[in-house]
Structure 1
Amino acid sequence: MSSEMTAVVIHEAGGPEVLKLERRPVPVPRDGEVLIRVRAFGLNRSELFTRQGHSPNVAFPRILGIEAVGEVVAAPGGEFAVGAIVATAMGGMGRAFDGGYAEFTKVPAHQVQRLETSLDWATLGAVPEMLQTAWGSLFQALELERGDTLLIRGGTTSVGLAAAAIARSRGATVAATTRDPGSETMLRENGADHVIIDSGRIADEVRSVFPCGARKVLELVGTTTLLDSLQCTRKGGTVVMTGMVGNAWALDNFSPMDAIPTTVRLTTYSGGSNDFMRTPLQDLVREIELGHLRPKIGKVFQLSEIVEAHRTMEENRAGGKIVVLV
């Protein structure tokens, strides 16, 4: 193995072009760490925000990337066999320490899951953070139960599509939103029982489907639709804010007494390495292999195409999860 690797390094905030291919030393793992030969990774909007300069706690230069899949090269502590297929996510990847945008990444062993799978790297690379986010939002934040009514705001996102399929398979009734009427078939094929065209104010449409409102609401658009999502929720129901594809970080002049209906609960889910390790990733991967879950992969790029991959993400042109093969 060469002592150097190709990595994508960011030295300053800016547009996609600030992501530079460079030669860097291959990291050397210590006890409690795992060196992974990265085969693929998914792109995430948090990486876009960091690249744009919205993560003040991230010091540059940095190799971004909050997730990766690949094969174990070394695990000095003996936690994994060399050659094992593994997935890792969160826990400071791409933020506190260098992440997955490289041929190799070194991560703590306690945030790595071993997988038995026949999936191709492009499919496997799409799932760690996507499934962790969908599963954690549904079952940790929303405590989804069989028979629940679920509204997914931002249903055509990769997390939204995964959440719909998972929730439907666990006995929930799912309504998903989209701004594009042409996406209805895709949403229904991925688990949505009802499709709502999102005008920005959909409480009446939601109550035509769920007369009392949805018991659980997964908010993936963010602050631009959060106040309306609260109005879509039944008494005693819960809204979890997980995503921010609307690219707005804060609410102006937020008045909780006016914004949150009586007895409706509002929470958030961001997911850390502990949440990733609690995700039954092996079981979900098996569901993908059996065709019960179909992760929506938008476009696949090579590592050398990282600038175009980020530009595609920023311009919302992917139509699903973006995966980079290494």
Structure 2
Amino acid sequence: MRAIVLEKFGDLDSLVYKDIPEPKPVAGHVVIQIKAFGINHAEMHMRRGEWPEAAEVSGIECVGIVKSCPGGEFPVGAKVAALMGGLGRTINGSYAEFTRAPVSNVASIESELPWAELAAIPETYATAWTCLFRNLDLQKGQSLLIRGATSSFGQAAVNMAVNAGARVIATTRSKERFAKLEALGVLRCEIEGPNMSARLPETKKLDAVLDLVGNSTIVDSLNMLRRGGRACLAGWLGGLDPIHDFNPLLQMASGVYLTFFGSFVFGTPGFPLSDVPLQDIARDVAEGRLQAKPSRIFNFEDIREAHRVMEANQANGKMVVVHA
């Protein structure tokens, strides 16, 4: 099969097209003919050698058709989504014509949506849904700040939070992106930057903060919450450097909750993929309640260009790759 192989860590030329053996059926796994896959920042970090693990074939998610499933958990020919479970990290991932994923990390996603649109859903929407409705326990009418909202993850979170009846404030680094977020239904946009808690009128009144900027802003995010409010750290748009000299005694607001979510836990006993209503999310997209169309669609032969766009922060949403 045709695959995109990570020959070395480094620049775009590290991604090389090669013919490698197709994955063979194994008990407890599903072999999937890949129709499309999303592009993720994690794969850029893997390519550069900045991630703890990186498989020869990158790619942490895909949508496609079941080719084989020895255990019978999914029928041959079924439409499925697969994400995490070691894909692209410890086992060959989705940058190929076929992949083999653990049964625990595969979900049915029957839909008439085009493959490109289906591919914009799995990892991004599963992660955003879990952060909002598990970690933050977001309820209708609550106030939510999403920091880093024009990322693909941020836009998915805005989509679902607004659809759930939350009052959403969103941050971005550019005023030119306000209109995109306002079209998704946010109440207001703010320019992302340091010490936002000192200039946000809602500071000490927010019910929840979803922080996708990361370690550089999470302490500031905690300062915006009301007593009993929750913050979820789930992204690193501001870089991977750790929180510098973090001392909760001196820096953390009292009575607030700090939570973390990393999508690498999907498929583990405490985080079954079946907990995420991917089928319902796909239906909401098809019926127009969620605006999940990909921002850019690339052919399989154009993976380097997709990575270049991502690296230049020009994605402006979720990018996907489709097989011809």
TM-score (norm: length of structure 2): 0.94
The residue number in structure 2 matching 1:261 is: 253
Alignment of 1:170-181 (within 5 A): 170-181=164-175
Amino acid at match of 1:75: C
- The alpha carbon displacement at 1:30 in A equals 1.8
Once the two structures are superposed, residues 156-191 of structure 1 have per-residue CA deviations (whole angstroms, 9 ceiling, x without a partner) of: 111111111211222211111112112222112213
Amino acid at match of 1:92: G
CA contact (8 A) 1:134 1:159 kept: yes
d(CA) in 2 for partners of 1:252, 1:212: 23
Q: 1:296 to 1:221 in 2, by over 3 A?
A: farther
Q: 2:205 aligns with which of 209, 213, 225?
A: 213
Which has the higher mean CA deviation after the structures are superposed, 30-39 or 245-254? 245-254
CA contact (8 A) 2:234 2:261 kept: yes
d(CA) in 2 for partners of 1:113, 1:170: 23
The residue number in structure 2 matching 1:280 is: 277
Amino acid at match of 1:319: N
- The alpha carbon displacement at 1:281 in A equals 0.3
Q: 1:316 to 1:211 in 2, by over 3 A?
A: closer
The residue number in structure 2 matching 1:155 is: 149
The residue number in structure 1 matching 2:37 is: 41
Amino acid at match of 2:218: L
Once the two structures are superposed, residues 240-285 of structure 1 have per-residue CA deviations (whole angstroms, 9 ceiling, x without a partner) of: 1001111233122222222211112211100222343311000000
Identity %: 40
CA contact (8 A) 1:231 1:261 kept: yes
d(CA) in 1 for partners of 2:293, 2:45: 22
Matched, 1:236 2:236: no
- The alpha carbon displacement at 1:83 in A equals 1.4
d(CA) in 2 for partners of 1:308, 1:169: 33
d(CA) in 2 for partners of 1:72, 1:187: 36
Matched, 1:246 2:224: no
The residue number in structure 1 matching 2:69 is: 75
The residue number in structure 1 matching 2:286 is: 289
d(CA) in 2 for partners of 1:165, 1:322: 17
The residue number in structure 2 matching 1:53 is: 49
Amino acid at match of 1:259: Q
Which has the higher mean CA deviation after the structures are superposed, 67-76 or 231-240? 231-240
The residue number in structure 1 matching 2:139 is: 145
- The alpha carbon displacement at 1:211 in A equals 5.8
Amino acid at match of 2:6: I
d(CA) in 2 for partners of 1:221, 1:16: 25
Consecutive aligned runs of 4 or more in structure 1 exceeding 6 Å deviation: none
Amino acid at match of 1:191: G
Amino acid at match of 2:258: L
Matched, 1:66 2:36: no
CA contact (8 A) 1:174 1:194 kept: yes
Matched, 1:107 2:101: yes
Amino acid at match of 1:170: A
| Structure 2 gaps, min length 5 | none
TM-score (norm: length of structure 1): 0.93
Amino acid at match of 2:242: A
Matched, 1:191 2:185: yes
CA contact (8 A) 1:158 1:295 kept: no
- The alpha carbon displacement at 1:17 in A equals 1.4
SS in structure 2 of the partner of residue 186 of structure 1: helix
The residue number in structure 2 matching 1:21 is: 17
| Structure 1 gaps, min length 5 | none
The residue number in structure 1 matching 2:307 is: 310
- The alpha carbon displacement at 1:144 in A equals 1.1
Q: 1:182 aligns with which of 176, 182, 188?
A: 176
